[in-house]
Amino acid sequence: MNVNEDLIEYALDRLDGVVGWLTEVGSIAVGRGVLTKELIDEVAEAMNVIISSLKSLWEGYLYIIEAIAKGYKSEGEIKNFFEYKMGYKIESFEITRYLRSLENMGYITKVQEKYEFLSPLLDYVAKRMF
């Protein structure tokens, strides 16, 4: 695929050189058969929405996201990390409820008893935030 050099520079600037976002732009561009400024702007807006939505979450949810970003994947590991960050103990059913809420919001998913981010881009953003 031939791409205008100016668009590559625009993508680098607009997406802060973040490899995950640049990869997403490239993947979509290949699928569409063309790279456009509008496509780059769409991905940049998606990046901003993900960051803003994460920052607006209750701190308890952020601790769960932080736990997953740091490699704590089982419910027990996440619960221990959550309790450490919050500074108090909680019942197992509470962490289960929080995890289900994050699943329902589309942030995480459970695969073979391990939690992970639903999107590779969300995974990248979360790991960068924490």
- pLDDT at position 125 is 83
* pLDDT at residue 47 in the model: 80
For 111-130, the pLDDT digits (tens) are: 999 999 998 778 888 888 88
- Domains of the chain (ranges plus CATH)? 5-54 (no CATH), 57-129 (1.10.10.10)
Which of residues 17 and 97 earns the better pLDDT score? 97
> What is the chain's Cα-based Rg?
17
pLDDT at residue 53 in the model:
87
Residue 68 pLDDT greater than 90, yes or no? yes
Give burial (CB, 10 Å; 0-12/13-18/19+) of 6. exposed
- pLDDT per residue as tens digits for the range 5-64: 999 999 999 988 878 788 889 999 999 999 999 999 998 888 888 888 888 999 999 999
Q: Binning pLDDT at 50, 70 and 90, where does residue 103 land?
A: very high
pTM score, two decimals?
0.75
